[in-house]
Chains A and B, each alone.
Chain A
């Protein structure tokens, strides 16, 4: 009797599990929303911690420049070589500057910068905030009536938001130089044609798209990475202690990378 009963219950249990999971996801989104609210509010609270902001700018922005430099240089050079290879078939080498710069400004610059920042600074922010959470340092701040957002989360948030568009611009410039090195110096495309092709084809609208993307990717990466760290104890299946921080950090980098890629497609489809 009890066996038939539990068998007939099996599909129901499945529905129940689905419901529970949906509730968890909704709750999780809600907590992330509340986190975002406090993080943004914390930017406007006084006294503002200018020194902490500078420190974070130097870590997130300045510290990422080497990585961005090499990523951009190599992407730009590869684009230059491949672009030359394709365009050469049609005798259209003169288009190289335009092809390289448009790809970089509209696509690769914002996306790769966001992915690199998520991997380098996002993971670090997530782990740091997560450790402060599990070792009760955040609770301790709250107990001293020091707002943890104003004190250290919002400065990270702001620093990342400011850094990402700037790093993207840096990426674009280095990438275009990389394309120049590969196309002009190695493959012998005319130097003037490279730059004039770029000048003629890149419009304000293209640059705008790149800037909008880098801003939105910045929000996504910093929100997901800091938020996951802050909520480390509320994330199901993360476990406890050091393991929970490592799992949540991995999750933050994966989630923010995926959302950058998804939003890249959506933004391109909507704004192009």
Chain B
């Protein structure tokens, strides 16, 4: 296995295998997955439901360990890391969860302030000031005293994004940021994403099945289907994939014709 060592790669998967014990047979989610995530760029991971997109994010965060293979963040292998080291690594990430994962017993303000309160030594006035600025940037002013259950889907995502960005992460992971939103809100979230990325310069990994719209944001596209995975830098390469299941996916979902001589 020869790997091109991109200098600017922040995340690298090397021969990662993940499977879960199923009732009848093993459910193989990732079979020898290899890819890198370039620094400062946007990587989109797309694939049907249940193909392992969230699993990839959980591997990156060390919430799940692979059966075999390495998940490298920077130079370190998340897959074999101890708890303390893992905590340190996680400080580099911001995560927007699929269901926003806001703390439902805390207000919007307290949700966004939580990482600052728990992970920094900032004084209360500084925290209030910083959270107020974020609230304004994400057009959440006036909602700070509401609880997550009182918010619309789009607002929840914005609060989740605000919370994810509080500690100025190097890498931000988005798990289906627009699923369940109407087209207007979807566009709003994408605009917000582009704005914040330009302002903060983070590396983004976006999981989505918002195909093909999501491709316009991507510097790199990773497609997943039935355990196979392929990497593209341009959507036009997708039908030319060497992997049969990826071509099958492209044909079914993207409507691309299989162009094979």
Q: Which residues of A contact B167 (CB under 8 A)?
A: 144
A272 close to chain B: CB less than 8 A:
no
- A137-B103 contact in complex given A145-B87, A146-B119, C-beta closer than 8 Å: yes
Within the assembled complex, what's the spacing in Å between the Cα atoms of A151 and B114? 11
The segment from B89-97, B134-142, B220-228 found at the interface with A is B89-97
Q: Which residues of B contact A146 (CB under 8 A)?
A: 114-115, 118-119
B88 close to chain A: CB less than 8 A:
yes
Within the assembled complex, what's the spacing in Å between the Cα atoms of A136 and B90? 16
A139 close to chain B: CB less than 8 A:
yes
Max chain A C-beta neighbours (<10 A), residue from B61, B97, B101, B119: B101
* Min CB gap A24→B, angstroms: 10
Max chain B C-beta neighbours (<10 A), residue from A137, A142, A143: A143
Cβ contact of B90, chosen from A131, A132, A135, A143, cutoff 8 A: A143
A136:B118 contact, CB within 8 angstroms: no
Q: Which residues of A contact B102 (CB under 8 A)?
A: 137, 140
A140:B91 contact, CB within 8 angstroms: no
Q: Which residues of A contact B98 (CB under 8 A)?
A: 136
- Which chain A residue lies CB-closest to B117? A146
A136:B119 contact, CB within 8 angstroms: no
- Which chain B residue lies CB-closest to A131? B104
Within the assembled complex, what's the spacing in Å between the Cα atoms of A256 and B106? 30
A139:B97 contact, CB within 8 angstroms: yes
Max chain A C-beta neighbours (<10 A), residue from B61, B98, B118, B167: B118
- Which chain A residue lies CB-closest to B62? A142
B115:A144 contact, CB within 8 angstroms: yes
A136:B87 contact, CB within 8 angstroms: no
B253 close to chain A: CB less than 8 A:
no
Q: Which residues of B contact A151 (CB under 8 A)?
A: 118
Within the assembled complex, what's the spacing in Å between the Cα atoms of A142 and B118? 12
Chain A window 137-178, contacts with chain B (Cβ cutoff 8 Å), 1 for yes, 0 for no:
101101111110001000000000000000000000000000
A145:B103 contact, CB within 8 angstroms: no
* Min CB gap A56→B, angstroms: 13
* Min CB gap B62→A, angstroms: 8
Q: Which residues of A contact B101 (CB under 8 A)?
A: 135-137, 139-140
* Min CB gap A147→B, angstroms: 8
Q: How many residues of chain B are within 8 Å of chain A by beta carbon?
A: 21
Counting chain A residues whose Cβ lies within 8 A of the other chain, the interface size class is 10 to 19
- Which chain B residue lies CB-closest to A144? B115
Chain B window 116-140, contacts with chain A (Cβ cutoff 8 Å), 1 for yes, 0 for no:
0011000000000000000000000
Within the assembled complex, what's the spacing in Å between the Cα atoms of A151 and B115? 12
* Min CB gap B84→A, angstroms: 10
Q: Which residues of B contact A145 (CB under 8 A)?
A: 87-88, 90-91, 119
Within the assembled complex, what's the spacing in Å between the Cα atoms of A132 and B114? 16
B90:A142 contact, CB within 8 angstroms: yes
Q: Which residues of A contact B99 (CB under 8 A)?
A: 135-136
A144:B97 contact, CB within 8 angstroms: no
Q: Which residues of A contact B63 (CB under 8 A)?
A: 139, 142-143
Within the assembled complex, what's the spacing in Å between the Cα atoms of A151 and B105? 13
Q: Which residues of B contact A132 (CB under 8 A)?
A: 103
- Which chain B residue lies CB-closest to A139? B63
Q: Which residues of B from 62 to 109 have beta carbons under 8 Å from A?
A: 63, 87-88, 90-91, 93, 95, 97-99, 101-104
* Min CB gap A162→B, angstroms: 22
Q: Which residues of B contact A136 (CB under 8 A)?
A: 97-99, 101
Q: Which residues of B contact A143 (CB under 8 A)?
A: 61, 63, 90, 93, 95
Within the assembled complex, what's the spacing in Å between the Cα atoms of A119 and B23? 33
Q: Which residues of B contact A131 (CB under 8 A)?
A: 104
* Min CB gap A117→B, angstroms: 21
Q: Which residues of B contact A139 (CB under 8 A)?
A: 58, 61, 63, 97, 101
* Min CB gap A15→B, angstroms: 18
Within the assembled complex, what's the spacing in Å between the Cα atoms of A252 and B235? 50
Q: Which residues of A from 94 to 136 have beta carbons under 8 Å from B?
A: 131-132, 135-136
**New contact pairs (11) apart from A137-B102, A137-B104, A145-B88, CB-CB < 8 Å:** A137-B101, A139-B58, A139-B61, A139-B97, A139-B101, A140-B95, A143-B90, A143-B95, A144-B90, A146-B114, A151-B118
Q: Which A residues fall within an 8 A CB radius of B? A: 131-132, 135-137, 139-140, 142-147, 151
Q: Which B residues fall within an 8 A CB radius of A? A: 58, 61, 63, 87-88, 90-91, 93, 95, 97-99, 101-104, 114-115, 118-119, 167
Instruction: Report, nearest first, the 4 A-B pairs whose CB atoms are least far apart.
Output: A136-B101, A140-B101, A145-B87, A145-B90
Q: Can you offer 26 A-B residue contacts whose CB atoms are under 8 A? A: A131-B104, A132-B103, A135-B99, A135-B101, A136-B97, A136-B98, A136-B101, A137-B101, A137-B103, A140-B97, A140-B101, A140-B102, A140-B103, A142-B90, A143-B61, A143-B90, A143-B93, A143-B95, A144-B115, A144-B118, A145-B87, A145-B88, A145-B119, A146-B114, A146-B119, A151-B118
